[in-house]
Homo-oligomer: A and B are copies of this chain.
Amino acid sequence: MTESSAFRTDRYELTMVDAAIQSGTAHRECMFEAFARRLPDGRRYGIVAGTGRLLELIQQFRFTDAELSWLRNNEVVRSPTLDWLADYSFRGSIWGYQEGEAYFPGSPLLVVEGTFAEAVILETLILSVLNYDTSVASAAARMVSVGLGRPIAEMGSRRTSEFGAVSAARAAYIAGFAATSNLEAGRTWGIPTMGTAAHSFTLLHDSEEAAFRAQVEAFGVNTTLLVDTYSIEDGIDMAVKVAGTQLGAIRIDSGDLPTVVAAARAQLDALGAVNTRITVTSDLDEYSIAALSGSPVDSFGVGTSVVTGSGAPAAGMVYKLVAHKNDSGSWIPVAKTSAAKASVGGRKDAVRRLDSTGTAREEIVLLGDGPAGESELVSPSGLERALLVPLIVGGKPDERYLGPAGTTRARSHHASVMRELPIDAFRLGRGEPVIPTTYR
């Protein structure tokens, strides 16, 4: 694979461009919208993620000689289209929900303005990034909210594709996770990384004692010792014997956690290791974290469930043409009308209405017909918060959303958004979206 992101797309995006160039419609001004028709099964809110990554990938969406010759050799598109692709960079504008923002069914998460050809060609990439990252962030936010402030580390790299793992670490961090096991996420996005040892390290040594001694010699007594390779009770005794009562933490990766954790805490206290923390990492999800709300757990590590969206591994985003200019320059709202997948045409803007206590009460989608940002359609008062911000204007991304700084910004925005949601948002049971979406 090259540095170009242009082939992370579906063939039909290019064949559509090809046919539209031939028919003379490729350069019609268009407005596309990314949204979700519904939240994942029974969820009460979703969390947008992927935006900052997406802005960088759109900059890398260029057709180099390698892509162009492959397309030529495989007769995917014709010569005029190859010329157009060779010159391609996205020169339009994109408005969107800030990364980390809550969303609801119909929320216009991304509004993409450009010619048909330049906007349609980004469809697959936009959806890949938003669907995966949003699915992780939406699951992660629920785990954080039931974690009652105790830090949660993302450690699911091994349970998702090797590049998806990096994106998952980032999305979970935006949604409030404290750290990740993934080194690339640390390097690329500035996320704190963590981790000490697996069972194999204990099994490698001639005894658990030898393994603990090796680890403490390497990292000092403030390390985390994994105590459940053989017997948890014997493991805790040995951990304190080796590291002393100043041992940083023990990790437990198996067993009936409420019982095991209570016993471990009592044992540590009895041994005098009253400040030694307990971290648990055994196939956790939002439900098992909630079940530990009364247990003396100090931190959690979550793997499979967060990187696979906890039952909803794709967020269900779609990318639809909602308006185009006709030959006389007027905007025409358009929408698929058949069967169950009908959507709402036309330009959208969106505000979240808050009550006098600052609690979100309604997602208001404003229907217009010009491009976003042209009018002063949104005039947020103190009680209405504007949701769309300019992400790319005339091809240039807003730098504040990029890189590690953009990731930190998204995490901070997310934290403020969560304080705004009604308390019912945080119920784990299946339910309806916590606020209604209204079209105005």
Question: Known: A164-B160, A200-B320. Is A183-B11 also a contact (CB below 8 A)?
Answer: yes
Could you tell me if B124 and A157 are in contact, using CB atoms closer than 8 angstroms?
A: yes
What's the minimum C-beta distance from A124 to chain B, rounded to whole angstroms? 5
A interface, CB within 8 angstroms of B: 1, 5, 7-12, 14-16, 18-20, 22-23, 25, 28, 30, 32, 57, 70, 74, 76, 116, 120, 123-125, 127-129, 131-133, 155, 157-168, 181-184, 186-188, 193-201, 203-206, 210, 213-215, 217-219, 228-232, 253-255, 304, 307-309, 313-314, 319-321, 324, 326, 334-341
Query: Looking across the interface, which residue of chain B has its beta carbon closest to that of A343?
Result: B199
State A115–B9 Cα separation when bound (angstroms).
41
Residues of chain B within 8 A (CB-CB) of A155 are 10
Could you tell me if B338 and A255 are in contact, using CB atoms closer than 8 angstroms?
A: yes
Residues of chain B within 8 A (CB-CB) of A74 are 186, 193
**A8-B183, A161-B164, A308-B308 known, 12 other contacts, Cβ within 8 Å:** A1-B163, A10-B182, A16-B198, A32-B200, A74-B193, A129-B162, A132-B162, A199-B336, A203-B335, A228-B336, A229-B338, A232-B338
State A255–B182 Cα separation when bound (angstroms).
43
State A116–B198 Cα separation when bound (angstroms).
12
Residues of chain B within 8 A (CB-CB) of A307 are 314
> Contact check: which of B23, B168, B206, B228 meets A214 at CB < 8 Å?
B23
> Contact check: which of B20, B194, B217, B335 meets A204 at CB < 8 Å?
B20
State A14–B197 Cα separation when bound (angstroms).
9
Could you tell me if A203 and B12 are in contact, using CB atoms closer than 8 angstroms?
A: no
State A15–B28 Cα separation when bound (angstroms).
56
State A9–B122 Cα separation when bound (angstroms).
30
Question: Known: A22-B218, A23-B214, A158-B127. Is A195-B314 also a contact (CB below 8 A)?
Answer: no
Could you tell me if B19 and A215 are in contact, using CB atoms closer than 8 angstroms?
A: yes
What's the minimum C-beta distance from A367 to chain B, rounded to whole angstroms? 17
> Contact check: which of B8, B129, B201, B338 meets A231 at CB < 8 Å?
B338
